[in-house]
Amino acid sequence: MNSSALVTGATAGIGLQFARQLAERGHDLVLVARNRERLEAVAAELSTRHGVSAEVLVADLADRTQLEAVAARVADPERPVDWLVNNAGFGMAKSFLQNDVAAEEEMFDVLCRAVLVLSHAAGRAMKARGRGTIVTVSSVAGFVAMGSYSAAKAWATTFSEALASELAGTGVRVTVLCPGFTHTEFHERAAMNMTKLPDALWLNADQLVRDCLNDIDRGRVVSVPGAAYKVLVGAMHVIPRPWIRAVSGGISTRRRPR
């Protein structure tokens, strides 16, 4: 029996690349997203190309009932999930106070609560089996101070580091991926104007996922793809926080990494 990987937000961008590359490695898939048609198209593509099974699970992770259904699938002892990839997410072009609080709550539920619930289900099940991998897609935005999206990604990074420490020595690996600006549908969906961003700051989703999988194989807990972003994140550990807040406040909220 092949090991299996459950990927949220699996129909586009970074999530799709995780699904493709894990299938390439021989993992069966459980693909989670809101759009059934797109899920079934991805499932058909990957099962045909790589000879793996690809299960479709339609769910909106902001809906608590649907999230619990995904968590139950993660924890199912009869159909073990060996990899959990917490990738689903979205951003918003407006600033925190310009958005309706309901929209902010929905983003919080997807970026934070869903990661917590699914990682709890996976962590317990994997620890009991003595093996497994949990990957959460965060962002370099979590190292700065650019509104609620940035705060949510900071939570995801710190949460993953804490979970990695809790599961150390159990056979369960935990890695948090912190990409910068990445060519995906993310910014288009959020109606963010990215035309003035220098080409040097853009990452390729295919390559960053390959780099992340290599980091997981090496046992790294925090994966930051791209030389420029490695330098940037390193610098932010020594730059005084008031300076980071000042610079972050001057950056348009339309420019959120992902």
Task: Please say whether the beta carbons of 142 and 161 come within 8 A.
Answer: no
Specify the higher pLDDT residue, 108 or 234. 108
Residue 193 three-state SS? coil
- pLDDT-above-90 percentage for the chain: 70
- pLDDT-above-70 percentage for the chain: 85
**Confidence (pTM):** 0.87
Phi, psi of 26, rounded to the nearest 5 degrees: 100, 10
With 90 as the cut, is the pLDDT of residue 126 above it? yes
With 70 as the cut, is the pLDDT of residue 189 above it? no
Q: What's the confidence (pLDDT) of residue 93?
A: 82
Weakest mean pLDDT among 83-87, 92-96, 183-187, 251-255: 251-255
Task: Please say whether the beta carbons of 89 and 257 come within 8 A.
Answer: no
Q: Domains of the chain by range and CATH?
A: 4-250 (3.40.50.720)
β-pairing, 54-58 with 83-86? unpaired
Q: What's the confidence (pLDDT) of residue 66?
A: 98
The residues that are catalytic are 149
CA pair distance 214, 21, nearest whole angstrom: 11
With 80 as the cut, is the pLDDT of residue 73 above it? yes
CA pair distance 52, 70, nearest whole angstrom: 20
Q: What's the confidence (pLDDT) of residue 232?
A: 75
DSSP bridge partners of 172: 132
Cα–Cα distances (Å) from 90 to 12, 87, 157, 170, 208, in that order, read 12, 10, 16, 32, 18
With 50 as the cut, is the pLDDT of residue 254 above it? no
CA pair distance 31, 1, nearest whole angstrom: 18
Amino acid found at 114? A
| Sequence-ordered list of residues with C-beta below 8 angstroms from that of 128, at least 6 positions apart, any chain | none
Residue 254 three-state SS? coil
